[in-house]
Structure 1
Amino acid sequence: MRITEEALKQAWHRLAAGSDLLDDAMFPPTGTSYGQYEEHVEDGYTGLFLVLEEDGTVWGHSGPYDEVFVAEGLDEALYCLAEEAVRGLDGTVTGRAGLMDRIDAGWGRRFRGGGADGTAPAPPCGRDPLEGFAWIAGSWREQAPYTNLTFFRGERVSAERIALLHGADPEQVAAGTRLSDLRGADGRADWDTLGKSYCFGQTGDWTFLLYHDTPPGAWADADAFAELGITETVCLSACSAKAIYTFDYVRDGHRVDDGGIIELIWYDRGRSPFDRRGPLDFVNRAIRRAELDHPELTDEFALYFHALETSLGLGLPREDIEEGTVRAARWARRDG
Structure 2
Amino acid sequence: MSVAGRILTPMQISAYTLKRAWHQVSAGSDVLDDAMLPPIGTSPDQYERHVGESHGRLFLVLDDGGTVHGHIGPYREVFVTQDLDQVLYFAAEDAVRELAEHIAARSPGHGPVANLVSGQAELLDRINPAWGSRFRNGGMDGTRPSAACGRDPLERLAWIAGSWREQDPYTHLAFFRGESISAEQIALLHGADPAQIAAGTRLADLRSMDGGTFDHWDIVWETCCYGKAGDWAFLMYHETPGSGPDLEALARLGVTEAVHLNATSAKAIYTFDYMRDGRRVDDDWGVLELIWYDRGRAPYFRGGQLDFLNQAIRRAELDHPELTSEFELYFHALEDAFDLQLPRQDIQEGTVRAAQWTRRNS
TM-score (norm 1): 0.92
The answer to whether structure 1 residue 239 and structure 2 residue 249 are counterparts is no
Amino acid at match of 2:195: E
Q: Return the alpha-carbon distance in structure 1 between the equivalents of residues 79 and 246 of structure 2.
A: 41
In the other structure, the counterpart of 2:164 is 140
Query: Structure 2: 5+ residue runs without aligned partners?
Result: 1-10, 102-115
The answer to whether structure 1 residue 32 and structure 2 residue 42 are counterparts is yes
Shift in alpha-carbon separation, 1:333–1:35, aligned structure 2, 3 A: closer
In the other structure, the counterpart of 1:195 is 221
Does the 8 Å contact 1:2/1:52 carry over to 2? Answer: no
1:103 Cα shift? 0.7
Amino acid at match of 1:309: E
Per-residue deviation, residues 279-307 of structure 1 (Å, max 9, x unmatched) = 11000000000000000111111111111
In the other structure, the counterpart of 1:112 is 136
Per-residue deviation, residues 272-331 of structure 1 (Å, max 9, x unmatched) = 111111111000000000000000111111111111101111111111111111110011
What does 1:1-336 correspond to in 2, within 5 Å?
2-40=12-50, 48-62=58-72, 67=77, 69-91=79-101, 92-183=116-207, 184-216=210-242, 218-219=244-245, 225-259=250-284, 260-333=286-359
1:56 Cα shift? 3.2
| Number of matched pairs | 335
1:333 Cα shift? 4.3
Q: Secondary structure at the match of 1:319?
A: helix
Per-residue deviation, residues 33-85 of structure 1 (Å, max 9, x unmatched) = 12322444678897543211233332334567665554442100110111111
Q: Return the alpha-carbon distance in structure 2 between the equivalents of residues 21 and 169 of structure 1.
A: 62
RMSD value, Cα: 2.4
Does the 8 Å contact 2:39/2:50 carry over to 1? Answer: no
Q: Return the alpha-carbon distance in structure 1 between the equivalents of residues 60 and 246 of structure 2.
A: 47
Q: Secondary structure at the match of 1:26?
A: coil
Which region of structure 1 is more displaced relative to structure 2, 309-318 or 54-63? Answer: 54-63
Shift in alpha-carbon separation, 1:289–1:176, aligned structure 2, 3 A: same
Does the 8 Å contact 2:222/2:360 carry over to 1? Answer: no
- Residue identity (%): 63
Amino acid at match of 2:236: L
Amino acid at match of 2:150: G
Q: Return the alpha-carbon distance in structure 2 between the equivalents of residues 231 and 246 of structure 1.
A: 20
Q: Return the alpha-carbon distance in structure 2 between the equivalents of residues 257 and 165 of structure 1.
A: 25
Does the 8 Å contact 1:3/1:54 carry over to 2? Answer: no
Amino acid at match of 2:123: L
Per-residue deviation, residues 135-169 of structure 1 (Å, max 9, x unmatched) = 11111111111111111111121011111121111
Per-residue deviation, residues 247-275 of structure 1 (Å, max 9, x unmatched) = 11111112111212211110011111111
Q: Return the alpha-carbon distance in structure 2 between the equivalents of residues 335 and 15 of structure 1.
A: 69
Shift in alpha-carbon separation, 1:197–1:118, aligned structure 2, 3 A: same
1:13 Cα shift? 0.7
